[in-house]
Each structure stands twice: as C-alpha cells, then as structure tokens.
Amino acid sequence: MFFQHLEPYAGDPILSLNEAYQADPRPGKINLSIGIYFDEQGRIPNLPSVQAAEAKMLAAGGPKPYLPIEGSAAMRAAVQTLLLGADHPALAAGRVATLQTVGSSGGLRVGADFLRRWLPGSGIWISDPSWDNHRAMFEGAGLTVNSYPYYDAATGGLRFEAMCQTLAGLPKRSVVLMHVCCHNPTGVDLSPAQWQQLVPILRDRELLPYLDLAYQGYGDGIEEDAYAVRLLAQAGLSMFVANSFSKSMSVYGERAGALSVFCADADEAQLVLGQLKATVRRNYSSPAIHAAGIVSRILVDPELRPMWEAEVNGMRARIQAMRRRLHAVLSARVPGRNFDYFLTQRGMFSYTGLNPDQVARLRDEFAVYLVRSGRMCVAGLNEGNVVQTAEAMAAVLA
C-alpha cells in the first residue's frame, strides 16, 4: 500500500455543498449555493445562441484535431475584442498575449504557475473575502497569498480607503487579484471613479493587477462590465486578465475561458506567450475545441452576437428583479432590519451577513442552501421560491 498516509479530502466548500443539495431528498429544496444562473423554472438555460452555434458546428462537420497549445486563433482574437472593444491601442500595439484556457480557472492557474516561475519574489494579495478557491489555487502554485481589506460588514459595502492604503503600502511588484465586476462572494464592486483612483496607486507602487472576470454581463452590461479592463489597459499598465464564458454563455461544463497578459510591448508579449504555452503544455497540453467553436462563433457571427447579448441582458434583468423581490418580502417580514444590500450589491451573489449557524439552520430546517460564509446565489431565486427563501431567512434572523 502506498497511500495510507494521505489526509482525507474535506471536500470543496462550494462544490460539495452543491452535491449535498443534489442528494437532499426534500421536496421544495432551494439551491442558492453554487454560482450558476438558473432560469425562472429553476433550470440551467441552454441558450438559443449556444444551440445555434452548435448547430452550425454540426452542419460544418469536419475533424476534431488538437488545438494549438494556445487555443483557437479565432477565439483568442474574439476574446481580445470582447475585453477591449475593437481597435484598442493595446491590441494595435500587439502587447496582449491571449491564451484560450480550460475555463477561467485554468487561466488563473496557468497564470499562477507562470508568476511563480518568472516573478518568483512576488506575493499575491486577494480581497478579504474572495472566491474560496483563489487562495487554494495560488497557494497550490507556490505563491504566498495575503489579503487586502475589501468588504465592510457594517455597511454591506466597500472598505475603499483601507483597500487603497493597503495597496499603496505593498512591496513593489506584488500581484493584486481583483474582481472586475460582480465580486464573488460579496456582490460589492468598485465604482468607475474608484477604479480611476486605483490607477495611480497601481502604477506608482509598480503593482501587477490580476483581474478575474467571471461574470461579464451580469453587472451592468457586457461592455460596461469590461470598464476596469479597458481603463487599466488605457493607462498602459501590465496586467493579467482571466475571463470566463461559463456564466455569460451558460456553458459551465464546456470549460470556456481565456487568459490575457497585457505586456509592455509586442516583443515582451511574444516572450510571455511562449512561456505561457510552455506552462500549458506541461499541464493539459491544449484546450477544448468545442468550447472554442461555441465562443468564437457567438462573438463574431452577426446573427448570433445580438441574440446572445439579448440573452445576457435577460439573465441580468431577471436577477435584478429577484433582488428587488427578495428585498421587498424580507423588508416586510423583518421590519427594522436593513436589506438594502440586496439592491446595491451586483451580479449573482449577495453577502447576507448570516452567520454559519444561521446558514446551517437554513439548510437543516428549511432546505435552503447558502454557502457557509453567508453568500447567497441570487440567480437561484425565482417567483416560485423567493417568498419561501425570505420566510426561512426571517425565521433564522428572529
């Protein structure tokens, strides 16, 4: 026997919870745990734009060769335009190295491995709190992970001053992981003015932003949600951007994502692309051809693109409607308590402020699943379960 000494895996705090929900036999159970968009009927939508793209792929037929290590050229170009808009100076300068990756998680990890090797003295700072897997992913790559102030439990908002102070005091060449929009887990975002205030801090302190863009379109809109990427690119900063299509195209299992590294110039971008490719080859060799076909078709096809944009707008509007519904029902059921954070926080998630005991009661007594931190996936609400959710919350808050 070789493996008797292994520590048992405690399970992932988000994915295990989703499995526990699936196994729960209680009728009327409500899944507000994992970051997945469910439609009004509680299903993961198979978007018509995605189906149409797949129909075109099927009609075209053809073989399924390995993609190049860096992924599909069509998808990589389409990702760059999605992030920056057409004709951005950073693209014209050729200073962006983009890889198609295995989800944005694959991109985050490839970037982490790259940083560990090529910027070995640099630690990474993540927001407090951040997506549960960020710390594990970067520590797993051998980086030292620290955190900067972010969420203000007292107001349900942002500790912006404290965040800026911390960033301004970091060692030079530190990496700073930031959520571009729809912060996971809190739903608390920086305003455009706050992003602008960050630029001189990042530049003067010679910090390397690592942007995570997993929810493009769920905040204010597809273009609007790319604001921070475009601002930092316009300012000429070097940075990493990992972006995902899991949520925006509802293609979770396709593992559709990308990593873009903004460099000083085109020569540096070529060097970076080369070493990113070396990192990928040592990991999973090359990404998925089906994901590339879906994404590149939807982003460039003149019929599919507007179809997809309308679908994203519809998903965002439904989440916002559910935020308003939950806020209204909760405010009526629990007078004297302020639930305005459901209206100000954006995207799929809200930080409810419920403590782990209250979250456990929600699950055990009411079959309502939230992440232990109190994070609620608002995108799991619908007209059929929002009142039940509010009543369960009211009961554990009483």
Q: Which residue is nearest to ligand LMR (CB)?
A: 35
φ and ψ of 157, to 5 deg: -120, -150
Asked if residue 14 binds ligand LMR (CB under 6 A), the reply is yes
CA–CA distances in Å: residue 255 to residues 21, 263, 292, 330, 366: 23, 26, 10, 36, 33
Tell me the two tokens of residue 251: 């293609």
Q: Which residues pair with 31 in a beta bridge?
A: 369
Among candidate residues 113, 132, 189, 212, the one labeled active-site is: 212
Known active-site residue 152: no
Nearer to ligand LMR (CB atom), residue 373 or residue 382: 373
Listed in order, strand segments (DSSP E) in 164-274 are 175-179, 208-213, 239-244, 256-262
DSSP state of 14: T
Give the residue, chosen from 21, 37, 114, 131, that forms a contact with ligand LMR under the rule CB under 6 A.
131
To the nearest whole angstrom, how small is the minimum distance from the Cβ of residue 244 to ligand LMR? 8
Nearer to ligand LMR (CB atom), residue 130 or residue 296: 130
To the nearest whole angstrom, how small is the minimum distance from the Cβ of residue 143 to ligand LMR? 19
Known active-site residue 131: yes
To the nearest whole angstrom, how small is the minimum distance from the Cβ of residue 224 to ligand LMR? 21
Nearer to ligand LMR (CB atom), residue 131 or residue 210: 131
**Does residue 353 sit in helix, strand or coil?**
coil
**Does residue 375 sit in helix, strand or coil?**
strand
Q: Omega before 129 cis (within 30°)?
A: yes
Give the residue, chosen from 31, 49, 174, 184, that forms a contact with ligand LMR under the rule CB under 6 A.
184
Nearer to ligand LMR (CB atom), residue 14 or residue 198: 14
CB 284, CB 132: distance < 8 Å: no
Number of residues that bind ligand LMR (CB under 6 A): 6
Known active-site residue 308: no
Per CB under 6 A, contacts with ligand LMR among 248-287 are none
Per CB under 6 A, contacts with ligand LMR among 19-38 are 34-35
DSSP state of 275: H
To the nearest whole angstrom, how small is the minimum distance from the Cβ of residue 149 to ligand LMR? 21
**Does residue 123 sit in helix, strand or coil?**
coil
Cβ atoms within 10 A of the Cβ of 271, count? 12
Catalytic residues: 131, 212, 247
Residues interacting with ligand LMR, by CB under 6 A? Answer: 14, 34-35, 131, 133, 184
